[in-house]
Structure 1
Amino acid sequence: MAKLYFKFGAVGASKTANALMVRYNYIERGKTPIMLKPRMESRDGEHTIRSRIGLQAECDFVEDFLASMEGRTAQDIDFDVVIVDEAQFLSAEQIDALGAIVDDFDISVICYGLRTDFQGEGFEGAIRLLLTADKIENIKTVCWCGRAACFNARLDEQGRIVRDGDKIMFGSTGTYISLCRKHYHQGITTGKEHIA
């Protein structure tokens, strides 16, 4: 039975790598996955999804895919699963449209993304997924201290936590760091602060 999945994690939790591995698993079994991302996410090129460890695949935009689904029937469907990277950037309406694909066509939609922004506030797409997904999974990563990381801290050029600014700012490795709740609130980004 098809499901709407939300697999979330903090920055660096290997969400994109997981999405690409799931895509590969479907292909290996002779299935056809559709790989999607929001149009606003173009760091790796318009039609490319790339993980930090170097895995990559071609993709389409969620917006174009959803537009192409209008008026389609079950006989028109030529794919077996939909995999969405960076789902936090989607609107609630787009999440609901992905959920309709699960319900109307019995095709699973697997969404990967962040749960919260650098201020600890929820993204619209993530909130909607948390409320409506059939299955929710935390892809875990750890803080520098070894505790579970659940916060995405934005860093300035000196490596200090930034608490104000635009909700969305694309960055590369070094722009964001995943921290546990304690060290996010304390503003401690490495263990070096504790070395005498």
Structure 2
Amino acid sequence: MAALHFIYSTMNAGKSTALLQASHGYRERGLETMVFTSSKDNRYGESEVVSRVGLRTPAHTYTESDDIMMMVQDMNKKNELSCVLIDEAQFLSKDQVEQLGKIVDEMNITVMAFGIRTDFQGELFEGSKYLLAWADRLKELRAVCHCGSKATMIVRVSEDGSIMRSGEQVEIGGNERYLSLCRKCFYKGAIGS
């Protein structure tokens, strides 16, 4: 039975790798998938999902104004889809998350959305907020803080390594700009060595 899944974590927990594994699992069985990633994340190039371990697959990019349901309907006419996979789902709009629910409910296609729950200030991203509210299934991927505790927060660091507490919500970067911390280290401002 189709369902809307939200798989979330902090940075560097394996979200993209999990997405790629899920897509491979469907395709290996002869089932079609459609992979999306946000146009905002161009760290590794455009129109593909790339994991930190080097796995990659082509992807359709979306902006916050794109009609994802229409894109899925068009693709489903060509190839019957079994699963839609969304990377960087935190960048989805409220309307797009609603569209994902309709893809599940009206088209009977499973949707797996992978993303970060909160930003570097501990605030929910719009896409994550509505996925947490409306998803049928939630799964947290575990990341580890430098102190050994479960990392649930993200902190942005400047070039000199100091913690940034203000700025735009979205500033694309990887391990050089963001660190995953437990809540205690997040509030203490302890980023380790």
TM-score (norm 1): 0.91
What residue in structure 1 maps to residue 97 of structure 2?
A: 95
- SS in structure 2 at match of 1:130: helix
1:31 aligns with 2:4: no
Cα distance in structure 2, aligned partners of 1:26 and 1:69: 17
Quote the offset at 1:77 in angstroms.
5.8
What residue in structure 1 maps to residue 10 of structure 2?
A: 10
What residue in structure 2 maps to residue 55 of structure 1?
A: 55
* Alignment map for 1:1-196 (pairs within 5 Å): 1-62=1-62, 63=66, 65-69=68-72, 78-190=80-192, 192=193
Letter in 1 for 2:39: R
User: For structure 1, which segment, 42-51 or 27-36, has the greater mean C-alpha deviation from structure 2 after superposition?
Assistant: 42-51
CA shift digits 1:51-107 (9 cap, x unpaired): 11111110012436433346x6x8766211000000000101001001100000111
Higher radius of gyration, 1 or 2? 1
Cα distance in structure 1, aligned partners of 2:79 and 2:28: 20
User: For structure 1, which segment, 60-69 or 171-180, has the greater mean C-alpha deviation from structure 2 after superposition?
Assistant: 60-69
What stretches of structure 1 of length at least 5 have no aligned partner? Answer: none
User: For structure 1, which segment, 20-29 or 130-139, has the greater mean C-alpha deviation from structure 2 after superposition?
Assistant: 20-29
Letter in 2 for 1:68: M
Cα distance in structure 1, aligned partners of 2:68 and 2:81: 12
Q: How many residues align?
A: 190
- SS in structure 1 at match of 2:27: helix
Quote the offset at 1:145 in angstroms.
0.7
1:28/1:77 Cα in 2 relative to 1: closer, same or farther (>3 Å)? closer
Cα distance in structure 2, aligned partners of 1:178 and 1:82: 27
- SS in structure 1 at match of 2:185: helix
Quote the offset at 1:172 in angstroms.
2.4
Quote the offset at 1:42 in angstroms.
2.2
Identical pairs, percent: 37
